[in-house]
Structure 1
Amino acid sequence: MRAIAFHDVNDFRIEEVEVPKIGFGEVLLKLKACGLCGTDIHKAIHKTVNPGTVLGHEYTGEIVKVGEGVTKFKIGDRVVGAIHVPCFTCHYCQRQHYTLCPEFRETNIDPGGFAEYIRLSEKHVRHLLFGIPDSMSYQHATLAEPVACCIHGQKAAEIRPGDNVLIMGAGPIGVIHGQLLKHKDVSNVMISDVSSYKLSKAKEFGIDYTVNIKNDSLKDVVDKVTDNQGVDIVIIAAGVSSLLPEAVQLLRRGGRVICFSPFEKYPEVTIDAGRFFKDEISIVGTYSVSPYEFEEAILNISNGTIDAEKMITHEMAIDQVGEAITFAASPDEEVMKVVIVD
């Protein structure tokens, strides 16, 4: 089968590899579509994975083989799933921090979503594989994983009716957050970015206020919308560490910042630590997705809460993965979400 392997920056190779063999409780999936995630772009550009790695985790496809002991699924089922599975029994799992489980990062699909077939382990099949409606296209189903991640993040935000929410970053994750928020009883949703194109797309999704920080003061907009009170929630959906101190400044008393992007490759920042005591603010990080958000994500795509048709702006072939990453990473391109199809 064909698999697209990362070897270096701008060096993706089409390789012929054996179709994975499945064992007890496992299934073999024929990939139909796989979304290109910001983390795929980050890994490819910053070389955080080993040469030979097959990226891609927003996968969906058709089951073509089932192992002995599989009763939940059958050949021909259309499914979508996640890449990591927790153990459900460790210290972190018992406290519902499933993504911190030591086994979480050790469980993976084989080989990766940018291939013709993948093997899903018994744990994946039991806990993190879900059927998709016949009415949902494979392309739209690729959004289930990022939507589930956003649902997971918003749980940590503890959003309440009447809240004013600011999203920093109008990429795919930012606009997914925005669409989910517009279906909650919040007062206003604001989103900021430097891309006029992405902000115009955010407007199409019904987000109340868009702010191009190259041209306008974000603080002025927040002050105007909230009557100088600040926002109740800030969701940082861009991996820029300098956004964190700004987010803290824009919070209302008792507010909460949700860090939804990795900052590890960026410099340290200084925040106003006094606000933790005198204003009871909080900063919470959220990573990936637990097994308990996928069905809600599929429903949100199916019922139109997430406008999948508008989200997916480009489809590219599996042998164009390298081109797709370069294209999606360019700040000059008018692109929201790229899906790889076979």
Structure 2
Amino acid sequence: MGGIPKRMKALVAYGIGDYRLEMDYETPICGDDDIIIKTEGCGICAGDLKCEQGIRRFWGDEEQKAYVEPPFIPGHEFVGRVVLAGKNVKEYQIGERLVADQIVPCGECRFCKKGLYSLCQPHNVFGFKSKLNGGMAEYVRYPKTAVLHRVPDDMPLKDALLIEPYSCSKHAVDRAKITSEDVVVLSGAGTLGLGMVTYMRTKNPKKLIVLDLLEKRLEKACQFGADVVLNPAKENVVQKILEMTDGYGCDVYIEASGNPVSVEQGLNIIIKQGRFVEFSVFSGPSTVDWSIIGDEKELDILGVHLSPWCFDYVIEKIMLGELNTDGIISGLFQLEDWEKAFMRATGKDGDFKIAFTF
């Protein structure tokens, strides 16, 4: 194993609600084309929480095939340093600090060949497959087709842990094609929503309105550049936004809350021929009147998945201070405290991003 231990500490998922801290799990083996990193830290994504809770999107049911392949080590928001490299690896050296796109594209399917690697048909993402374990472990294997990016040595870990989520935020905003003439409404000001806020400020929209149920998140949205913040639990946001826009509605609505109510709310807020961007992963189906989308408003519905071609931009702009990261990592935990960390990551106590350090 080239001087690294044969066994390691890892959080391992065996089934729905069956996550176990293993102190003696097998360290990944480095093949000729592989890289092994020593993990510095790994963030907890909302997808990790929903997977642990057992939603059908991950575990399947009688109608839908399971996506996960246990046992697996969760985590796709991780950064680390190279400790082993296979004999065919020429580009990266021992000690380099790396982060990877969440998805490991096959390089062979129709999407990969068109450059749409985030839509890769086999669709293997770190942290959900036994063959592609994630970052909630001391060591992680990067296979040959992993999409790797160098992380500056002087980037603080709390910033480095935001590279993956902020890259997702950037892709969502890019899909919206925001201009300086647009009134934009963002529903959801968690970590990813705040990443959208700080990136949207570079687009200089006519007005940026942020919605959330938690006042702490709305305060942070203001700090990050929102023009107006509204709490749907305290006021009629549909009425307010229609009043702000002379009864027409917003030009862009970005749904980043994961709450089905937010979808219907957005359809009521958005202008005719507006752009509705759906970002969230939902715990279950969301039902709306599709006549609004077609016959009533002729909307553009834009889905968002992962963060293709975004990592290098985000790394550069975080280092330049042009993307605000202040206070987003609100708790760092050891893997031994994973249950407490997962609970904090729900945001119920007002946290933004929770992560593990090693």
Q: Taking structure 1 as the reference length, what is the TM-score of the superposition?
A: 0.91
Counterpart of 1:236 in structure 2 is 255
Matched, 1:2 2:15: no
Candidates 84, 92, 108, aligned match of 2:111:
92
- Give, in angstroms, the shift of residue 274 of structure 1: 4.6
Candidates 151, 156, 172, aligned match of 2:191:
172
Counterpart of 2:136 in structure 1 is 114
Candidates 174, 178, 195, aligned match of 2:214:
195
Structure 2 vs 1, CA of residues 96 and 122 (structure 1 numbering), >3 Å: closer, same or farther?
A: closer
SS in 2 for 1:17: strand
Q: Residue type matched to 2:223 in 1?
A: E
SS in 2 for 1:183: helix
SS in 2 for 1:122: coil
Candidates 289, 308, 317, aligned match of 2:307:
289
Q: Residue type matched to 1:82 in 2?
A: D
- Give, in angstroms, the shift of residue 51 of structure 1: 5.5
Structure 2 vs 1, CA of residues 87 and 277 (structure 1 numbering), >3 Å: closer, same or farther?
A: farther
SS in 2 for 1:273: helix
Give, in whole Å, the separation in 2 of the partners of 1:334 and 1:246. Answer: 23
Provide Cα deviations, 1:68-100, integer angstroms capped at 9, x if missing partner.
121211001011112312234533345554333
- Give, in angstroms, the shift of residue 202 of structure 1: 1.6
- Give, in angstroms, the shift of residue 330 of structure 1: 5.0
Give, in whole Å, the separation in 2 of the partners of 1:260 and 1:302. Answer: 26
- Give, in angstroms, the shift of residue 50 of structure 1: 5.8
Judge conservation of contact 1:57–1:112 (CA < 8 Å) in 2. Answer: yes
Give, in whole Å, the separation in 1 of the partners of 2:19 and 2:293. Answer: 46
Judge conservation of contact 1:12–1:321 (CA < 8 Å) in 2. Answer: no
- Give, in angstroms, the shift of residue 10 of structure 1: 7.6
Candidates 319, 324, 328, aligned match of 2:341:
324
- Give, in angstroms, the shift of residue 155 of structure 1: 2.3
Structure 2 vs 1, CA of residues 275 and 25 (structure 1 numbering), >3 Å: closer, same or farther?
A: closer
Q: Residue type matched to 2:207 in 1?
A: N
SS in 2 for 1:65: strand
Give, in whole Å, the separation in 1 of the partners of 2:289 and 2:300. Answer: 12
Matched, 1:335 2:343: no
Provide Cα deviations, 1:155-178, integer angstroms capped at 9, x if missing partner.
221222221111111111111111
SS in 2 for 1:123: coil
- Give, in angstroms, the shift of residue 228 of structure 1: 2.3
Give, in whole Å, the separation in 2 of the partners of 1:243 and 1:31. Answer: 36
Sequence identity, in percent?
26
- CA RMSD, Structure 1 to Structure 2 (Å): 2.1
Structure 2 vs 1, CA of residues 218 and 97 (structure 1 numbering), >3 Å: closer, same or farther?
A: farther
Q: Taking structure 2 as the reference length, what is the TM-score of the superposition?
A: 0.87
Counterpart of 1:276 in structure 2 is 294
Counterpart of 2:324 in structure 1 is 307
Deviates more, 1:83-92 or 1:186-195: 83-92
Give, in whole Å, the separation in 1 of the partners of 2:148 and 2:303. Answer: 25
Judge conservation of contact 1:34–1:139 (CA < 8 Å) in 2. Answer: no
Structure 2 vs 1, CA of residues 210 and 282 (structure 1 numbering), >3 Å: closer, same or farther?
A: same
Q: Residue type matched to 1:242 in 2?
A: V
Structure 1 unmatched runs, 5+: none
Structure 2 vs 1, CA of residues 45 and 270 (structure 1 numbering), >3 Å: closer, same or farther?
A: same
Judge conservation of contact 1:276–1:282 (CA < 8 Å) in 2. Answer: no
Give, in whole Å, the separation in 2 of the partners of 1:185 and 1:208. Answer: 11
Q: How does 1:131-170 map to 2 (within 5 A)?
A: 131-170=150-189
Q: Residue type matched to 1:153 in 2?
A: A
- Give, in angstroms, the shift of residue 207 of structure 1: 1.3
